Structure 1
Amino acid sequence: MRWLPVLYVVVLLLLEPVTPVQWPVSFALIALPLVTAFAHGPVVVAGTAAFAVFMEGILAGTACCAGRSVGYLWDRHYVASYVCTALVGALGTIVAAHRIRRERTLADVRFVADIAQRVLLRPVPHRIGSLHLESLYLSAAAEARIGGDLFEAVPTRYGVRLLIGDVRGKGLLAVETAAALLGAFREAAHDEGALPALADRVETSMARRATHLGGSEVAERFVTAVFVEIPADTPLIHVVNCGHPPPIRIRSGEVRELDRGRSAPPLNLGMLLGEPYHVDDYSFLPGDQLLLYTDGITETRDATGAFYPLLQRLRSWGVLPPWVLLERLHHDLLDFSGDRLADDIAALAVRLPADQPPVPPPTPVG
């Protein structure tokens, strides 16, 4: 874009000699200041407008007709062209100044959004104990940067506790809800010994916040979430699912959704429905990998309207390191959707390296 004005002038100069004087191409120089305003500042645009008037005068004074030189420097049509070019130059200068102000404002907004994202969705550590972790977040709106999808990994005395969630709705309310949920989880993860108690405490915080906000949609301000606990002394993981897409365990020769059909209601609906939280236990051995994700991944569509085949893709890729897995998933989603994501996307990959010694199951009591 920065070289577009130069290219524009070059094309006009090449066309001018081969065009009959009755249709002078030099009149097209009137548009040069606006072309320049797309990529340059007001000073450059003003200078370009002066240059365009100067070039129009040269082309008018050296015009040829029927093989002889004919001067049209002060012809009324060319004088009108000079005046119009100057006016368009003034307009282009104003447009360029306005564009630069908007770009600076957008840069400031993106800077603030980046800081907010680092506070709200801070990158998970690449390693916690023996676990390797990696996270991915893609906003459907590039200018927004942050939305209602969330994830977190917290090392506690009970093991590493993971959370991934998806807030209903969009906009500032969704971001505020995500912040409240993450704050409650980061605090309660260290205090609550049982995973259902952790989910219940987060549920209480969400219900309290919804009541404080008031309005007629209190019951609709809900969040789907998955809580996972990976203890350090047992080859099991504990999962509490609150209406969220189930985690996927990736093992050599097997890709499996961890779902036993006992999902609890989304957070902020559990108290209304009165259903308890169920803990499901699954084996998690050295070499296994766990993928937590939001439904923005599986609801991504291609040009034909087909949904993204996540399980099929994972089976074709095999076992990959977490950062390789999420990098490939990232590019594959963009290719599949034609760079048109319709929803925010979050994913969290956790792997227990194969070189870790296997932990024997606990000895039964009695």
Structure 2
Amino acid sequence: MKESRRPPAWAGWLLVGPALVLGVLLNVLAPEPYMGLPLLAAAPLIAGAMLSFRAGVLVAIVACALSTGLDIAQGRPPSATFVDFAVIGLIGILALAVNLLLQRQGRDLARARFIAESVQRVVLPDPPAQAGPLVVAAGYTPAQAEARIGGDLFAVQETPYGVRMMIGDVKGKGLRAVASVSVAIGAFRQEAENAPTLAELARRLDDALCRDAARRGNATSDEDFTTAVLAEVPDDSGTLRLVNRGHPGPYVIRDGTIARLDASRPQLPLGMGLGPGPASDDEALTDVFSLPADALLLMITDGVTEARNRAGIFYDPCTSAALTGARFRDPDELVHAVTADVERWSGEGHQDDMAILVVARRGGRRYG
């Protein structure tokens, strides 16, 4: 477990050194009313905030020694010399106390982040590298380094119906979102094995999220829902089936082009208590596409598509110069390429968590 990062040591010394030098020069060269005492006193304060405890002690000792030596050399009375020494020494002690408090705060923050990361890994484990005929890769990037827990989710599972996948986004943040993520993934793990169709799987996930909201005393509303894309790739064909419940559509990358797979029939998100329709509509609710052996399926959350550059323009994978025309060794390379491209586009200032799930059929040497 790493502590919270402190400013680099060179930055602290870059401020401490000039403060000491200028303090000495002012004492020696400035007219009588002006003295370098404030700068000599500032040096230990800067060191306490930006350097290690030992460096802070060293700077405080040096500042006290310089002040005393200059006062003696300039013939100042002992009382003035003692006062100057006491002022710098007191500020040095206070700076060291601040240093200890910052170290403790850093350890507490690091511990909290470690716990958050552990919870995130338990709730949202990495998918398997291979599932049935597919090679799988996933990535999760929080909007802020300090906020490791979010509402994005993904899951991949082999079932009797083929490989089934889910990527989604729970509305909200923090522990409430994590609880909904846990319910959604748990329901997917259970029901993906048993639901005969993707549309039926969506109904069961919708029921599970509604029951969880009722148990927690939250009535279903337009403020409590989960957007999701459910996908299914049978083992024996190049077919891809999708059910989109209010989520950004996935993309197929092939022959240097990127195509978004939009839903033919818009559907409401999960957890709103409004199912997609009767079981007789399952075929109409499910879109069927082709997933050739050399194609990549890119599934994302809205943290990708809602990332904006300085001009306020949203990121679009279909027009990305880093993705169009490119070939990738494996899905993992595409995950890293999309993550890096979004960070370049938004200046590393994206406002939402990003989850990325990429799959491809095994056996291809190059994809896209």
TM-score band, normalised by the shorter chain? 0.7 to 0.9
The 2-side partners of 1:266 and 1:95 are apart by 49
Kept in 2, the 8 Å contact 1:147–1:170? The answer is yes
- Give deviations 1:61-110, integer Å, cap 9, x for gaps: 23xxxxxxx3226362x443222212212221221111111111111111
Tell me which residue corresponds to 2:324. 316
Paired-residue identity, %:
34
Note the residue ranges of structure 1 that are not aligned, 5 or more in a row. Answer: 63-69, 357-366
1:20 aligned to which of 30, 33, 37: 30
TM-score, length-normalised on structure 2?
A: 0.87
Kept in 1, the 8 Å contact 2:139–2:356? The answer is yes
Kept in 2, the 8 Å contact 1:52–1:85? The answer is yes
- The Cα of 1:355 is off from its aligned counterpart by 4.3
Letter of the structure 2 residue corresponding to residue 309 of structure 1 = D
Q: Which moved more, 1:106-115 or 1:214-223?
A: 214-223
Note the residue ranges of structure 2 that are not aligned, 5 or more in a row. Answer: 1-7
Tell me which residue corresponds to 1:282. 289
The correspondence of residues 1-366 of structure 1 with structure 2, limited to 5 A, is 1-4=8-11, 6-12=13-19, 14-15=21-22, 16-17=24-25, 19-20=29-30, 22=32, 23-42=34-53, 44-62=55-73, 70-72=74-76, 74=78, 76=80, 78-215=81-218, 218=221, 220-271=223-274, 278-313=285-320, 316-320=324-328, 321-353=330-362, 355=364
Q: Which moved more, 1:219-228 or 1:253-262?
A: 253-262
- Give deviations 1:196-235, integer Å, cap 9, x for gaps: 2211111110010111122456453110000001110122
Letter of the structure 2 residue corresponding to residue 347 of structure 1 = I
RMSD: 2.4
The 1-side partners of 2:287 and 2:338 are apart by 27
TM-score, length-normalised on structure 1?
A: 0.87
The 1-side partners of 2:105 and 2:242 are apart by 47
Label 1:106 to 1:61 Cα distance change in 2 as closer, same or farther (>3 A): same
Instruction: Please state whether the residue corresponding to 2:192 is helix, strand or coil.
Output: helix
Give the length in aligned residue pairs.
348
Kept in 2, the 8 Å contact 1:121–1:151? The answer is yes
Label 1:256 to 1:10 Cα distance change in 2 as closer, same or farther (>3 A): closer
- Give deviations 1:104-124, integer Å, cap 9, x for gaps: 111111111121121112112
Label 1:146 to 1:27 Cα distance change in 2 as closer, same or farther (>3 A): closer
Label 1:130 to 1:19 Cα distance change in 2 as closer, same or farther (>3 A): farther
Label 1:149 to 1:317 Cα distance change in 2 as closer, same or farther (>3 A): farther
- The Cα of 1:129 is off from its aligned counterpart by 3.1
